Structure 1
Amino acid sequence: MSYKFHRQVSAWRQARAGGPVSGQGLPVIVLVPSDPLLFNASTGDMAMISAVMHFCRETWPDARFVVLTAGDVADEQVRQAGAVPCRVLDGSLSFAETMTRIVSHEPTHCVTIGADVLDGSYDPVFSALLLMITDMLARRGVKCVVTGFSVSASPYPGLGTVFNETCQDIVFNLRDPVSFKRFGRLSRARCELVADVAFLLKPQMDSVLVRGVGDWVDVQRAKGRRIVGVNVHPLVLELVDRHEIDKVVRNLAALLIELVEEASLSLMLVEHDFRGTSADAHCLGPLYDLLEPRVGEFVFLSKDRLDAKEIKAAVSKFDGVISGRMHLMIASLGGGVPVFGIEYKEKMVGLLNHVGLSAESLTTAREIISDPVAVRQKLSVFLADLDATRAAVVAKGPALKAMSSLNFAGLTNG
């Protein structure tokens, strides 16, 4: 990996200079997605992209979108979203060829979706590629922003050099205070603290699927029960430990059965990511199979896929959410709903800090395996404090939306 990374850095240094883009017409906005293969198979990605496109269309009603892609699936999904795919991220092109294809669209603006792919903790070569393309567009006079992203506890050290050498017109937006501090240790590049752009996503309250969730919620409330959403997925364990995911599911099922029976809870299992081996279904299907024989009357797993706007609408009807997905937590918090997180990549604590909540509302897959009694105690405290936590989250909502809007400062200033 180190050799490939350093070879890429060398190629970028040789290719990054270039003349200005000649775009003179309507705004043409390049989107650099965090998943150029599947585009929106992650509901979190869908939430961020939808929020970005909505902002841009409100600002420039005639704007056109060009999305950088890496495969046929993404190309088709981009077209369905009303944008134009530009196949440059499949690894087959040189930097010069990549820029030729992008510049042919005469871009005026670029939005790079930061998410959690820019610190190299998954793939430093891919992280560097997204940063380098953004840099080369900025050097050519395109207004570029990088929306709020996370920095894990172990970012790839070599990326500090890439961040430091990017065009000084780029401001890197960090989406939580912990990531902001980590980025400051990694790089000297300009950075700002914002909130995740998905806090701006507008819920779709009137869809058929959301009304179906609402009907189920109404039935459960009529029985005097509180409603809690639940999400867990394979990535809550690192790859080397992934073989133990069945232990996570079994122990979590036992805890939830206790809470359903003793705390008058009803549970909706919420699918939020549909990408291959990391899809939520690999955990939520087995979890439902364990819950249904014991507490099936109080458990719901939709057979239909809710999109990002529908999920934000659906979870707003809940009393709380237990989530292994950060963007499900964001959807919940954005609707004033308290969250209990199953941490991974050490990034959820920053989100909780952002909304004024403590890390006591966090567990880990390892703790679920090794100390379910402790997890049970944490969940009991979380449930006992739901009303007070909801009031605090609702009060924080306007400030979070204002901080989320800061993601776009670099697009509209000047």
Structure 2
Amino acid sequence: MPRRRVRAWLSDWIASRPPTLFLIPSDPWNLTGSIGDAAMIAAVTEVCRTQAGLEVTVLTSTDAADQAAHRLGLRTVRVAWDSEQAFWPQVDRQIRKKHAKALLVLGADVLDGGYGSEMAKRMLRIADLAASRRIPTAILGFSFNSAPAEDLRPAWAKLHPDVVIQVRDQSSLQRFEAFSGRKGTLVADCAFLLKEKPGQASEAVRAWTDGKRQQGRHVLGINFHPQLFKKREDFPRLGRSFETVLRKLAAEDGTAFVVIPHDNREDSDKVALRAFAAGLDQTLRENVLFVGEDVGPDEIKAIVSHLDGTVTGRMHLAIATLGMGRPAVALTYQDKFEGLFDHFDLPSWLLVTPEAAGEPEVLLALIRRFRASLGALTSQVQAHLPAVQQAARRNLDALGWTAGDAARQP
């Protein structure tokens, strides 16, 4: 076949394929080990496919990340994240090769350097590279803590002016703008766009909670994990506090609890919470259900729909709960929860430090107050939820898309 015809055939083949959106994850090594990351990726992917007609390609660095991406129906591009010299030519080549129509950065909670500044610098530089290639580029709603890494200041200052910067809560937005000198747009976390999907685990929770409610009991979800503490040896104290409180509340009115892991990585809350549930005595176990199966973020939303509320140390479990119209208590860390709760005008007493929750009398008083306020808090969450979901949709509005027209983006 003459070379000219080959080039024409390739050009026609490329034109016939769906346009490609590049997604830059915050964890290219595990991708979805954090169920919160999985929720954001799944939500964005669904919108990009169904409303914008885009094929989503994610940059990865390991076989595990590739497998996780393929389970979500994503295409992958393997790049050498751990090699500065090889990384940039690979990224630039892939963006050109795939004829990227847009690029989104999953900012999550890493762009303040809270987990190290090198990953944040690299993500910002990718966004800068894409924008310099005239590719529509946006950073999805991220949080920004009160003590950002100082060496990130130049990276933010040099970021291409066409990159759309979106921050997922008002408190983070104020901190970000004061630190960077750049303007951001207020949105809500894109995980609020994720739809629930029932499965075997959620159906088991539904059956169990239905039985408890027939007995006139409240049912609350709980989650806590070692990452809440800088010193991991402080974590067992929190577990003992929860055990004491669960026992007292069960004795008071039979309040039942569903223990929900929300991270599948090593040293995760799944390991810690499995040990916690297994250590309960038989009498208390009858009042506690442990979700032991690996479940995706969409089924997590189905699970929390059967609860009255949650007490959680994972922000995206709180987002799943609020997204299903239920209130949450937060064990705070990394300045994440304050801005999230502001979206719903929720009172500050719903926020507690892990150290304070390690005192049984503090945790008991908090959950008693939460239990007594469930009706009013639920109404408040449900009243604010439509506006929050609209704010979440603005993550993609920033690129100027309307349903189905992204394929026509230049």
Whether these two folds match at TM > 0.5 is yes
Q: Is 2:321 the counterpart of 1:329?
A: no
Specify whether residues 263 and 103 from structure 1 end up closer, same or farther in structure 2 by C-alpha distance, changes over 3 A only: farther
Residue 401 of structure 1: aligned partner:
389
Q: Is 2:250 the counterpart of 1:257?
A: no
TM-superposition CA deviations, 1:69-113 (whole Å, max 9, x none): 111111122223222211225222242333123322111111111
Residue 115 of structure 1: aligned partner:
108
Q: CA deviation at 1:385?
A: 0.4
Q: Is 2:173 the counterpart of 1:184?
A: no
Contact 2:48/2:56 (<8 A) preserved = no
CA RMSD, Structure 1 to Structure 2 (Å)? 1.7
Specify whether residues 83 and 208 from structure 1 end up closer, same or farther in structure 2 by C-alpha distance, changes over 3 A only: same
- SS of 1:151's partner is coil
Residue 202 of structure 1: aligned partner:
195
Q: CA deviation at 1:169?
A: 1.0
Residue 327 of structure 2: aligned partner:
338
Alignment of 1:93-104 (within 5 A): 93-104=86-97
Match of 1:66 among 36, 57, 62: 57
Q: Distance in 2 between matches of 1:28 and 1:203?
A: 26
Contact 1:174/1:191 (<8 A) preserved = yes
- SS of 2:251's partner is helix
Give % identity: 32
Q: Distance in 2 between matches of 1:273 and 1:80?
A: 17
Over 4 Å off, 4+ runs: 22-25
Name the TM-score, length of structure 2 as normaliser: 0.90
Match of 2:148 among 147, 155, 165: 155
Residue 281 of structure 1: aligned partner:
270
Q: Is 2:73 the counterpart of 1:82?
A: yes
Residue 357 of structure 2: aligned partner:
368
Alignment of 1:122-133 (within 5 A): 122-133=115-126
- SS of 1:411's partner is coil
Q: CA deviation at 1:23?
A: 8.6
Q: Distance in 2 between matches of 1:280 and 1:292?
A: 20
TM-superposition CA deviations, 1:107-132 (whole Å, max 9, x none): 11111111111110111001110111
Specify whether residues 31 and 23 from structure 1 end up closer, same or farther in structure 2 by C-alpha distance, changes over 3 A only: farther
Specify whether residues 170 and 228 from structure 1 end up closer, same or farther in structure 2 by C-alpha distance, changes over 3 A only: same
TM-superposition CA deviations, 1:366-398 (whole Å, max 9, x none): 1123x3322222222111101000000000110
Q: Distance in 2 between matches of 1:65 and 1:32?
A: 10
- SS of 2:220's partner is strand
Name the TM-score, length of structure 1 as normaliser: 0.90
- SS of 2:311's partner is strand
Residue 5 of structure 1: aligned partner:
none
Q: Is 2:369 the counterpart of 1:381?
A: yes
Q: Is 2:28 the counterpart of 1:39?
A: no
TM-superposition CA deviations, 1:265-295 (whole Å, max 9, x none): 1100001101112x11232123213434341
Q: Distance in 2 between matches of 1:372 and 1:362?
A: 16
Q: Is 2:277 the counterpart of 1:318?
A: no
Residue 203 of structure 2: aligned partner:
211
- SS of 1:86's partner is strand
Residue 9 of structure 1: aligned partner:
none
TM-superposition CA deviations, 1:217-249 (whole Å, max 9, x none): 1111112111100101111112xx111211111
- SS of 2:81's partner is coil
Contact 2:258/2:289 (<8 A) preserved = yes
Q: Distance in 2 between matches of 1:23 and 1:40?
A: 31
Q: Is 2:284 the counterpart of 1:295?
A: yes
Specify whether residues 223 and 259 from structure 1 end up closer, same or farther in structure 2 by C-alpha distance, changes over 3 A only: same
- SS of 2:77's partner is strand
Contact 2:309/2:326 (<8 A) preserved = yes
Contact 1:253/1:290 (<8 A) preserved = no
Q: Which amino acid aligns with 1:78?
A: A
- SS of 1:158's partner is helix
Specify whether residues 253 and 407 from structure 1 end up closer, same or farther in structure 2 by C-alpha distance, changes over 3 A only: same
Residue 137 of structure 1: aligned partner:
130
Q: CA deviation at 1:349?
A: 1.3
Q: Which amino acid aligns with 2:113?
A: G
Residue 308 of structure 1: aligned partner:
297
Q: CA deviation at 1:318?
A: 0.5
Q: Distance in 2 between matches of 1:112 and 1:86?
A: 15
- SS of 1:346's partner is coil
Q: CA deviation at 1:299?
A: 0.6
Q: Distance in 1 between matches of 2:61 and 2:15?
A: 24
TM-superposition CA deviations, 1:127-171 (whole Å, max 9, x none): 110111111011101111111111112111221221121111112
Q: Distance in 1 between matches of 2:188 and 2:343?
A: 8
Contact 2:343/2:384 (<8 A) preserved = no
Q: Is 2:40 the counterpart of 1:48?
A: yes
How many residue pairs align between the two structures? Answer: 387
